[in-house]
């Protein structure tokens, strides 16, 4: 089954970037900006910015002041964030997992990590950044009990597929994979991957060619 999205995935990716830049501008006490200014911050074109904003109901800014930053953030939040919030399970409480738990604990968002899972007896039952760690055997029950929809995999690559399978069977609908492994999941489950090695390879290429 192929999922049809009301807004193209690439547009959603750009909206996430716009919101990050807008929130920083708001924190610096700026109230308005023009499309070309947001385009420059997001490494985009002003035409693309205007098209993206029109999709979410922002037809145009004030000719004198441009777009209201707070209004833009609110409109983007209406698209990106579920009104009731969404809960996340993290599997793999190693150094990376703990760093993600620490980051998420102070980031205000409609997305929250509410349970962590591992097989290490030394850490099961402990809390990390106010998030309790459970044994993997409890994954299915906790996902159902807590209403978790999203999973993050920060375990070693050799366990990633098995973890993903368990998540899918438990009802997870979106997975973010940090493990160095490709995953095979059903088409009705959204999958994204962050491969730090690939990103560093790209950065390495561009930096050596800037000399």
Enumerate the domain spans of the chain.
Answer: 9-79, 86-198
CATH architecture of 9-79: Orthogonal Bundle (1.10)
What DSSP state is assigned to residue 91? E
Beta bridge partners of 112: 87
pLDDT tens sequence across 154-192:
999 999 999 999 999 999 999 999 999 999 999 999 999
The H or E element containing residue 107 is none
Strand pairing partners for 113? 88
CATH homologous superfamily of 86-198 equals NAD(P)-binding Rossmann-like Domain (3.40.50.720)
Under the banding of pLDDT at 50, 70 and 90, the label for residue 1 is very low
For 156, phi then psi, to 5°, come to -60, 150
**Intrachain domains 9-79 and 86-198 with the same fold:** no
pLDDT for res 183: 96
Q: Could you tell me the pTM of the whole model? A: 0.83
């Amino acid at each position: 089954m192929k999922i049809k999205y009301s807004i193209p995935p690439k547009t959603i990716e750009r909206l996430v970037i716009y919101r990050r830049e807008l929130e920083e501008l708001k924190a610096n006490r700026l109230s308005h900006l023009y499309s070309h200014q947001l385009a420059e911050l997001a490494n985009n074109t002003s035409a693309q910015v205007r098209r993206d904003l029109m999709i979410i109901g922002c037809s145009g800014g004030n000719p004198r002041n441009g777009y209201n930053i707070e209004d833009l953030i609110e409109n983007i939040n209406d698209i990106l964030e579920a009104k009731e919030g969404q809960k996340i399970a993290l599997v793999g409480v190693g150094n990376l997992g703990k760093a993600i738990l620490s980051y998420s604990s102070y980031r205000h968002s409609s997305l929250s990590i509410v349970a962590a899972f591992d097989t290490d007896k030394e850490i099961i039952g402990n809390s990390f950044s106010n998030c309790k760690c459970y044994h993997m055997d409890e994954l299915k029950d906790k996902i159902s009990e807590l209403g978790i929809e999203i999973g993050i995999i920060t375990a070693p690559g050799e366990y990633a597929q098995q973890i993903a399978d368990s998540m899918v069977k438990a009802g997870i609908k979106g997975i973010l994979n940090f493990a160095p492994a490709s995953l095979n999941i059903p088409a009705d489950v959204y999958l994204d991957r962050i491969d730090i090695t690939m990103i560093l390879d790209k950065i390495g290429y561009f930096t050596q060619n800037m000399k």
